[in-house]
Amino acid sequence: MHEISRADRRASVILNYLSVAAIAVVVDMQHVLGWGTTLVVLAVCAATALGLATFLRVFWRTSLWKITHAGFGHLDERQVQVVYESLRNSYSIFAIVCLAILYLNAVVAEGSIPILVAAAVLYLAHTLPAAVVAWTEKEILTCD
C-alpha cells in the first residue's frame, strides 16, 4: 500500500468533476459550439477516459467508494466519524449545486434539465461523500 498525496487527490477530484461537466456541456451545447458529430464523439471519449482514470485513482484505489457506500456496521469508529462528517458536508454542497442548476436552467433553458445534467447530478450524489473525504483527510492509503 502506498499513499496518494492530498494535492494529488484534490487534483484528481477536480479533474474528475471537470470531465463529467465537460461531457454534459459538450453534448448539450454542440449545436451552439458548431461542432460536428466526430468532434463531439472525440471530446466525449476523451472526457470519459479522463473521468474513468481519475475515478479509479481517487475513489476506487483508495477504497473511498467502498467506505462511503458501506453500512456503518462494517466500519471502525474513526471511519464512521469520517464518513458521517463527509455525508453531512457533501449533502450541504449537493443542495447548493442542485439549486444552482435548477435556477440556471429555469433562467436559461426555461425550466428543462438536459438528461446528461441529471446524470451528472446523480453521479455527484454518489461520489461527493468520497470526494469530501479525499479532499479533507491528511492521509489515505491506497489498496493495491
Condensed to tens digits (0 to 9), the pLDDT of residues 45-94 reads 999 999 999 999 999 998 899 989 988 888 888 889 999 999 999 999 99
In a domain, 111, yes or no: yes
| Mean pLDDT, rounded, for 89-109 | 89
Rounded Cα gap, residues 28 and 22, in angstroms: 10
Asked whether residue 1 is domain-assigned, the answer is no
Question: Do residues 23 and 17 lie in contact, with contact meaning Cβ atoms separated by under 8 Å?
Answer: no
Output the nine-digit C-alpha cell for 101. 442548476
Does residue 144 surpass a pLDDT of 50? no
> pLDDT tens, 22-41?
998 888 888 777 888 899 99
Mean pLDDT on 86-106: 92
Angle (CA) 87 88 90, round 5°: 60
Q: Residue 142: inside a domain, yes or no?
A: no
- Residue 129 pLDDT > 60, yes or no? yes
Which domain range does residue 60 map to? Answer: 6-136
